[in-house]
Structure 1
């Protein structure tokens, strides 16, 4: 299977979308306000969420809605510039960085993982491709590293000793060590450590000045506190490949810019090609199409279909995959989404490129994913009749 065609298609993908996209039907500001007000405050009360920042992209405009507090202790209110932990939405940034290395000709998705890391030579990663790492199909890497893995020496020993439970490419098993390794190797192919590559290419080129792997001192006053199940203030702890898999922090304002780039492309042509690669479907599980970080669906999609793709079964159990040959470039009617959680935060992003429609939901509590999906679906159904016609009562 080869993937060079992705870039012959991807170079013009966003130009084609600009020509053929159909804007979502414009709801009035009052209708949108009512939809958000009927959805977010009840969601917060039901899940004891201290604060939420919501951004809705529709009709060429971004609408912000801020609720509650960034810290119960200080009472500081949430704003569009409050910094939240994104959890696994970080994987979409990693996917785009990998796409950037592809666009630069520094790696191919068919490369073996060991080609880009000497420590992996002679291991099972001689037979695991970069694409399989990026799409959680390396053969059953677990959701998390074992607790004993605390540094790079432990990490490379773990990978060298790991034995797949399935043939590489056979099943999807959602995994931080899988896409985390992909991100590490993609940055290595670019000749930089991951954090420098991410900050110097993706974040800077997209103008994301309030998106961080490590929140600097100057931004600490805007960094929300998350809250644990017991109601204690918490923030994410460092771990192996955390930046690559779950370590990005951002604001609703910056995430709306990020979604806008995913909707319309970037000024840098290579970055637009990287975004196109991340929004390419490489295989299918049920009705979910796996991209690089992003997870997609043919649009419109019913609420039940979207819930199935974001279910616990999809996250925690191995799923047999059906590879697409050739991969399906992300043009046409597609919806892309990603959830993210840490111990004290819960986030969700969703966008439809052909309709120029998207939503960002950031919360400083980890609450059920199904609740996030239902809330986003309810709000966006007010903006697009195609989605509303698929909505379940």
Structure 2
């Protein structure tokens, strides 16, 4: 029995050890990833983390810790994590796809697709305003009274903007959630159905879901909240559209690779991805597109941290409209995401053909994620 206990303890220690050993060759990608991300595990009490990088179409994976503390199951590249607001980049892609099928125009107004909103203040905004959080001051979250489709519609009918459309950016689940809802509605379908039947399969993402099916439940990690209680995402209006995707490191780095080079995608989906790369509004240190946020590359760490700050997420900021065109100069695209028990980050530079994805089952500070990823991207750029 004592020998069995020793062997079990050894197995658990092996499970939580990083895939990139501390003794990795200096100067290698493995060493850079381990140096940047491994210390975060102890510093922030993170049970498990998956990191993936891509350089010129070649991906590498690094797994740390456990997917669930009670079972000790190790994180793998196939572990499902909640990606939080990184889901917004999928919603933006779906909206671009709806536009490419002719179901919507991003220049149209909400009332065209939800007649109950015709003439309401929200109808002064365009679908592009909804996707860039520039509709006029929609809040981060719906009030608690909004619990279903009728109360959602009534909320938008009664909402009063704090600025005209296109004047301020105020980060909002309600805003991009409405874009996703209207896009799917215009296609005559449910949002989750379009995402899981058209968008995710079209992107070649077999391990990505809005609703995790029974056969994938064993791969679904448990998240851990501030008190280290195991949790998963709570349901809510527009949860699927704003923060509801669950995915793996394998799928997320493939998604990043399709954003780096979408040429191999079906034409409508390729153009949808390209639509999400169009810069729409300049706000502080970054440019807001549909879903993705952009920075001239190379970007200083302090600029990247400012663009991903609490202020940028929680407060309104003035914007300047830009000509709608894809960036020609080297550009870093990024997006953070969090739920109560998970934290995620994705960043890539198409012109350098480099990218990084981090998925964790703990919502730890965004600054730590961005700092680690920034260091890894610098290492990848030297490959």
Task: Specify which structure has the bigger relative contact order, considering alpha-carbon pairs within 8 angstroms and separated by 6 or more residues.
Answer: 1
Match in the other structure for 1:389? none
Quote how far apart the aligned CAs of 1:125 are: 2.4
Q: Identify which of 242, 248, 258 aligns with 2:245.
A: 248
Q: Identify which of 340, 344, 355 aligns with 2:341.
A: 344
Q: Identify which of 260, 264, 268 aligns with 1:263.
A: 260
Q: Distance in 2 between matches of 1:380 and 1:129?
A: 35
Match in the other structure for 2:54? 57
1:383 equivalent to 2:371? Answer no
**Gaps in structure 2 of 5+ consecutive residues:** 1-24
Give deviations 1:231-271, integer Å, cap 9, x for gaps. 00000011001100000000000101111111110420111
1:220 equivalent to 2:217? Answer yes
Q: How do residues 102-141 of structure 1 correspond to structure 2 at under 5 angstroms?
A: 102-141=99-138
Q: Distance in 2 between matches of 1:123 and 1:201?
A: 32
Match in the other structure for 2:75? 78
Give deviations 1:145-186, integer Å, cap 9, x for gaps. 111111111111111111111111110000000000001111
8 Å CA contact retained: 1:87, 1:247:
yes
Match in the other structure for 1:68? 65
Which segment is superposed worse, 99-108 or 287-296?
A: 99-108
Q: How do residues 127-276 of structure 1 correspond to structure 2 at under 5 angstroms?
A: 127-265=124-262, 266-276=264-274
SS across alignment from 2:370? helix
SS across alignment from 1:376? helix
Q: Identify which of 93, 96, 103 aligns with 1:96.
A: 93
Q: Identify which of 320, 345, 350 aligns with 2:318.
A: 320
8 Å CA contact retained: 1:276, 1:330:
no
- 4+ residue segments displaced more than 6 Å: none
**Gaps in structure 1 of 5+ consecutive residues:** 1-27, 387-393
Quote how far apart the aligned CAs of 1:330 are: 3.4
The RMSD of aligned alpha carbons is 1.5
Q: Identify which of 353, 358, 365 aligns with 2:355.
A: 358
TM-score normalised over the length of structure 1: 0.89
Q: Distance in 2 between matches of 1:302 and 1:92?
A: 23
Quote how far apart the aligned CAs of 1:385 are: 4.5
Give deviations 1:33-75, integer Å, cap 9, x for gaps. 1111212221111000000000010133101000000001110
